[in-house]
Amino acid sequence: MASWVNVPEDSDFSLDNLPYGIFSTSHLSPRIGVAIGDQVLDLRDLAGAGVFDGLDFNTDTLQQATLNDYASQGCAVHRKVRLRLQELLRHDTTSGDVLRDHGQLRDRCLVSLEQAEMHLPMVIGDYTDHFIGLPHAKTSAEFLKPGSTIEELIPSFWDAPSAYHGRSSTVVVSGTPIHRPKGQTRVDGRTVSGFCQKLDFEVEFAAFISTGNEFGSSIAVDEAEDHIFGFVLLNDWSARDLQKNELAPFTSKNFATTISPWIVPLEALEHFRTTPTNGNRVLPDYLVQKKANSAYDIPVHATLGVDGHKYHVAECNTNNVVFSVAQMIAHHSRGGCALRPGDLLATGTISGPSKEREGCLMELSYSGTKPYTLSDNSDSSKTIQRTYLEDGDEVTFTSQLKHSDGRGNVGFGLCQGRILSGK
């Protein structure tokens, strides 16, 4: 399905994607937009012009500077709006008079992506990070407690999606510089205070919640997907030396978490589903999901930018998980914990089972004991080495899914952050 809007061949934003974000320009205040090709469609103005009238929802929710209220309208509304946008944007639209041929509205509502500054798409009430990637869990057990297995570290690893509560105040949008954090480490049994010396990234995949549940109630696993607004890429920056010193992730994680700016809807990822890799383990009833293809097969590329060069780090995949996002939601709310629109649930590191598929330097460098060699993307003979991140390093995650029938790509934009020296 082609669009009359220019969609370059390498664009993440085909008509099959239509992700939501919050953007502003030098003369437009922050507002809701949908990416299409090399443009952003301004939904505030479009809603103001009555383009969504008759779709039976509160269109004021499209005229705000955050997506929370629109997300809370529910998945049936999101699907209707998506269909309406696809109809308006396809090259053979039968409603050309509404936007394509309506010069004034079209010129006002289509903004070049290059001019758009992206903001955090939702107000995040609570951020939860999970720990459901199998290869990462194996390595982490060894890192956190040398000689131990996953099951020794977390007895319930196979029985429920393990998680910890993260810090929502420091979730930032792609492009925000990351200051090297200070903290405490232990050297020879003595506490040392200063800048983190083992700064790392973690390649993750995350879901934003659309509609939540009441305090004291829970969400059934087979209904959980209806509570997902969409997905982003996520970098769970980690200070490994600080982490070894903490009972649960605290200062080692709470200094920053970066997300990609565009929330990709479920519908855009339907063709990229797979089963979680938990084998055929018997689960408690509340985690037994009817849908078999409940996880996603999405390769995520990590690159390191150094002095103007781009180096290949790893190719991870969202399929390296033992639970689906729906199972994460069911378990999270199981005891009556309220989820709210804008809550962010991340998978944890989605490392694959071999080198070059590992999603953090802790894994790639064998806990910092052996430097990892990275090749220049454009000249593989050119290499650099890293154990952990250095000041000036720019970490970028991208993912671009291609439909086999040439319908164009589905991607997330960049999840990028550059390390600044500490202050």
* Residue 20 CB neighbour total at 10 angstroms: 26
How far is Cα 294 from Cα 77, in angstroms, rounded to an integer? Answer: 22
Of residues 33 and 261, the one with the C-beta less far from its own copies: 261
Beta carbons of 141 and 152 less than 8 angstroms apart: yes
CB of 40 to its own copies, least distance (A): 25
78, 130, 136, 332: the catalytic one is: 136
CB of 125 to its own copies, least distance (A): 6
How far is Cα 318 from Cα 357, in angstroms, rounded to an integer? Answer: 11
Of residues 94 and 191, the one with the C-beta less far from its own copies: 191
The amino acid at 290: K
Residue with tokens 């936007």: 99
Task: Give SS3 for 296.
Answer: strand
Of residues 19 and 121, the one with the C-beta less far from its own copies: 121
C-alpha distance from residue 175 to each of 66, 235, 342, 349, 413 (Å): 19, 12, 20, 20, 11
Of residues 115 and 170, the one with the C-beta less far from its own copies: 170
Transcribe 59-97 into DSSP letters: GGGGGSSSSHHHHTT-HHHHHHHHHHHHHHHBTT-S-TT
CB of 285 to its own copies, least distance (A): 7
How far is Cα 175 from Cα 23, in angstroms, rounded to an integer? Answer: 13
Of residues 11 and 238, the one with the C-beta less far from its own copies: 238
Beta carbons of 408 and 8 less than 8 angstroms apart: no
Of residues 69 and 159, the one with the C-beta less far from its own copies: 159
CB of 335 to its own copies, least distance (A): 3
How far is Cα 84 from Cα 99, in angstroms, rounded to an integer? Answer: 12
Of residues 247 and 379, the one with the C-beta less far from its own copies: 247
3-state secondary structure string, 194-242? EECCCEECCEEEEEEECCCCCCCCCCCHHHHHHHEEEEEEEECCEEHHH
CB of 119 to its own copies, least distance (A): 14
How far is Cα 246 from Cα 55, in angstroms, rounded to an integer? Answer: 51
Beta carbons of 225 and 76 less than 8 angstroms apart: no
CB of 241 to its own copies, least distance (A): 12
The amino acid at 135: P
CB of 192 to its own copies, least distance (A): 8
Task: Give SS3 for 227.
Answer: helix
Beta carbons of 13 and 23 less than 8 angstroms apart: no
How far is Cα 87 from Cα 407, in angstroms, rounded to an integer? Answer: 15
How far is Cα 411 from Cα 399, in angstroms, rounded to an integer? Answer: 6
Of residues 8 and 194, the one with the C-beta less far from its own copies: 194
User: Does the active-site annotation cover 78?
Assistant: no
CB of 365 to its own copies, least distance (A): 22
Beta carbons of 133 and 346 less than 8 angstroms apart: no
List of residues 6+ apart from 66 with CB closer than 8 A: 22, 120, 121, 122, 123, 342
Binding site for its own copies (CB under 8 A): 125-126, 131, 153-156, 159-160, 162-170, 172, 176, 179, 181-184, 186, 191, 193, 196, 212, 215-218, 239, 242, 245-251, 254-256, 284-286, 331-332, 334-340, 343, 423
The residues that are catalytic are 136
